[in-house]
Amino acid sequence: MMIKNEVVSDHCLRVSVVGRIDINTSPDLRKYIEKIDGNIKQIIFDLRDVDYISLAGIRELLICRKRFCEEGAMRVENVSEKVFHTFEAAGFSETIPLTVMTSEEPPLFFKSFKDFCAEKAEKLKDRPFIFESGRSFSWSDIEIGSQLIADDLNKLGVGVGTHVGIYGRNSIGWVMTFFAVQKLGAMALLINPGLSVSEIRTVAEISDMTHFCYGTMNNVSNYSEFLSALKADCSQVREVYSFMDASTLTERKSYYESVKNGYSQDVDRDAPCTMLFTSGSTNRPKGVILSAFNILNGAYYSARSQGLMPDDRTCLILPLFHVFGLIAGLFANAIAESAIYIPDDIRTDTLVDFIPKHRLTVFHSVPTKLIALVNNKTFSSDKFSSLRCTIISGSAATEAQIRMFRKKLPNDHFISAYGLSEMAPVSTTDYEDTMEHVLHTVGKPIEHIMIKIASPESGTECRAGEEGEILVQGSNLMGGYYKVPIEDQTIDSEGWLHTGDLGYLDEEGYVHFTGRLGDLIIRGGENIMPGEIEEKISEYYEIKNVKVLGMPSELFGEEVAACITLKDGAVFDEDLLRADLSEKLAKYKIPSKFFVFDGFPILGSGKIDTVTLRKQMLERINDPDT
């Protein structure tokens, strides 16, 4: 049994219990109740994750009811029918205020990926799920293709615990290969297809990768040369396997019949099975270890927040090696039984035709891509009238940017979300939330997730409205970083993941993201968060995108610098912008320098590559003629 608590207000405590409450665990519940702060006047027990309660457990709740005896001071929520029957049999279903779960959601996220794929293939059979290059692929196709790839990989030595890299653009082959690795009980290492051979070597060393599966790659024209360099540079990679022609695997149905019952060993839903990598924009990447439970649980709640239905059609441009694309894209749609459309590329010239052609209803993106899309010369609001939902995540969008998106896409419903490779999603606005919530927050924590705001200096918990570091824990939190020393593991002794992000919780429980601890600019002792300045600069009508960075200063230690890109045909008037900012920002926050770029370097996740941009900015400072 595990007990988690959340202080709802100054005098109300919510307690979530996980597991069995029986003769062995009930003493722990007694000890917990005895330690409850005397200032707490109301207690709520959430038993949604309790699958059994014994008479001893009921007795402990009765004792607690004696302590919280005022009307409404104690209640028990989200009781399953099975647990309710135990209360009823003991005659306590009215003595202890109970709320029974009104419906049992299908426990899709309590499956291993292997079982998940098999059950979808059995239920949906030939119903199309993925559309790519003019073809459709059903769950039956995915089951056949993944089983054939699993057979191929097994012959190359892949089995339980083998670390297998998956490297390639979004494709049906990528999806089949992912499920193939899961069928064998191996670990899928999701690698950015934009990485160079030397960068792949770093990832291989970090992750103990022995097998490398590849599809169509970014920035690779000669595959033979690439693979030769890979084999020479990555000595621990023993075998390579191509899934570039995976779309033809469904034609091998006769061979499938001979292997379809192979690899039948059970795979646990919470076994370590997927490794994602932090972006590595500041240090060496870290391998984030996740299970099917982590990913499918997050995808389930992502699907609910989007209101995904079977008739939805999602444009998947988010890369599948990234947690946003994997969870909010692939698996949220898989759970909702809606369709995914994969364009041939993600250039805006392609998307302005692709989305209206297929009357797509859902399109998720990072702010940089949305900005480029709505500024495409052939963009028009009418073309995108079919879109009903867009999650903006990956990096923070400013209020001015969101208002611009709303103006350009009036039929679209925007959702603001927050997540990390280590846990996604953490929070999201609901589909029915107001535009003010979308503009100013990243939503409320999803179910089974807890958020705490703590002072970066003292570690003490912050009050509502007080800014601090965002700490999270819950059901879809990673197990930890692969082979990283204990002092560099960001989960603390109480189970909280220290995100390195700054924000605060408001009185309604919504999360406000304010920036990164690492982004902090300290100018002469003044702490400056770039996000606030980016917000104001982005309101200037000529600005397409902006990134505020700190630059060296002999006098102040750091000064504020703004890197900007301009809309097509725009002419930058620095004096006009400075005059505008002087009315909105304190003088010390106004950038000392503005640097105009044709475009920003972008990471494979879609975020701005801050490290490279900073280098480019410093080169201009040191050599103004560059």
Which residue ranges make up each domain of the chain?
2-100, 109-290, 520-622
Alpha helices, DSSP H, located in 184-242: 197-207, 223-233
Mean pLDDT of 20-47: 89
Q: What pLDDT score was predicted for residue 602? A: 87
| DSSP H or E stretch at residue 77 | strand 74-79
State the DSSP string of 244-306. Answer: TTGGGGGG-HHHHHHHTT-------TTSEEEEEE---SSSS--EEEEEHHHHHHHHHHHHHHH
435: its two tokens: 């535009």
The residue among 516, 549, 473, 488 whose CA lies nearest residue 285 is: 488
Residue 7 pLDDT level (bands cut at 50, 70, 90)? low
| DSSP H or E stretch at residue 373 | helix 367-374
Q: Is there a contact between 18 and 49 (Cβ–Cβ < 8 Å)?
A: yes
Residue 103 has pLDDT above 60, yes or no: no
Residue 13 has pLDDT above 90, yes or no: no
**Contacts of 116 by beta carbon, 8 Å cutoff, 6+ apart:** 108, 292, 296, 334
Query: What are 582-604's pLDDT values in tens digits?
Result: 888 878 899 999 999 999 998 87
Determine the length of the chain.
626
Residue 105 has pLDDT above 60, yes or no: no
Q: What is the 3-state secondary structure (H, E, C) of 304-359?
A: HHHCCCCCCEEECCCCCCCHHHHHHHHHHHHHHCCEEEECCCCCHHHHHHHHHHCC
Residue 71 has pLDDT above 80, yes or no: no
Query: What are 227-286's pLDDT values in tens digits?
Result: 999 999 999 999 999 999 998 887 887 888 889 888 888 888 889 999 999 864 445 789
Q: What pLDDT score was predicted for residue 6? A: 67
Q: In what order do the strands lie in the sheet with 423-428?
A: 135-138, 128-132, 339-342, 313-315, 362-363, 389-392, 413-420, 423-428, 444-445
Distance CA 563, CA 71 (A): 59
Residue 565 has pLDDT above 50, yes or no: yes
Q: What pLDDT score was predicted for residue 221? A: 83
Please give the biggest Cα pair distance in the chain. 84
Q: Is there a contact between 502 and 514 (Cβ–Cβ < 8 Å)?
A: yes
Provide the β-strand partners of residue 429.
Answer: none
Query: What are 501-542's pLDDT values in tens digits?
Result: 889 999 999 999 887 777 778 787 677 888 889 989 998 888
* Topology given in CATH for the domain delimited by 2-100: Transcription Regulator spoIIAA (3.30.750)
Q: What pLDDT score was predicted for residue 109? A: 62
State the DSSP string of 581-609. Answer: HHTTS-GGGS-SEEEE-S---B-TTSSB-
| DSSP H or E stretch at residue 56 | helix 55-67
- CATH no., domain 520-622: 3.30.300.30
- Give the N- to C-terminal CA distance of the chain in Å, as an integer: 62
Q: What pLDDT score was predicted for residue 378? A: 94
DSSP 487: G
Q: Is there a contact between 323 and 406 (Cβ–Cβ < 8 Å)?
A: no
Q: What pLDDT score was predicted for residue 282? A: 43
C-alpha dihedral, 389 to 390 to 391 to 396, nearest 10°: -140
Q: What pLDDT score was predicted for residue 419? A: 92
Q: What pLDDT score was predicted for residue 447? A: 85
Q: What pLDDT score was predicted for residue 196? A: 82
C-alpha dihedral, 370 to 371 to 374 to 378, nearest 10°: -110
Stated pTM of the model: 0.74
Residue 165 has pLDDT above 80, yes or no: yes
Residue 473 has pLDDT above 70, yes or no: yes
183: its two tokens: 């069928």
Residue 398 pLDDT level (bands cut at 50, 70, 90)? confident
Q: In what order do the strands lie in the sheet with 511-516?
A: 449-454, 468-474, 497-505, 511-516
Q: What are the distances in angstroms from CA 52 to CA 49, 108, 287, 339, 475?
A: 9, 20, 36, 37, 19
Distance CA 423, CA 81 (A): 30
Q: Is there a contact between 559 and 523 (Cβ–Cβ < 8 Å)?
A: yes
Give domain 109-290's CATH architecture. Answer: 3-Layer(aba) Sandwich (3.40)
Q: What pLDDT score was predicted for residue 394? A: 64
**Contacts of 586 by beta carbon, 8 Å cutoff, 6+ apart:** none
The residue among 189, 194, 219, 214 whose CA lies nearest residue 204 is: 189
Query: What are 355-393's pLDDT values in tens digits?
Result: 999 999 999 988 878 888 999 999 999 999 999 999 887
616: its two tokens: 């480019």
The residue among 141, 430, 152, 212 whose CA lies nearest residue 302 is: 430
* Mean predicted lDDT score pLDDT of the chain: 89
Looking at per-residue pLDDT, the higher value among 156 and 542 belongs to: 156
Q: What pLDDT score was predicted for residue 269? A: 86
The residue among 367, 365, 359, 323 whose CA lies nearest residue 341 is: 359
Distance CA 470, CA 448 (A): 16
Q: What pLDDT score was predicted for residue 323? A: 93
State the DSSP string of 525-551. Answer: TEEE-HHHHHHHHTTSTTEEEEEEEEE
Query: What are 184-213's pLDDT values in tens digits?
Result: 999 999 998 888 888 899 899 999 999 999
The Cβ of residue 475 has, within 10 Å, a number of other Cβ atoms equal to 18
Q: What are the distances in angstroms from CA 318 to CA 288, 391, 408, 599?
A: 19, 11, 21, 20
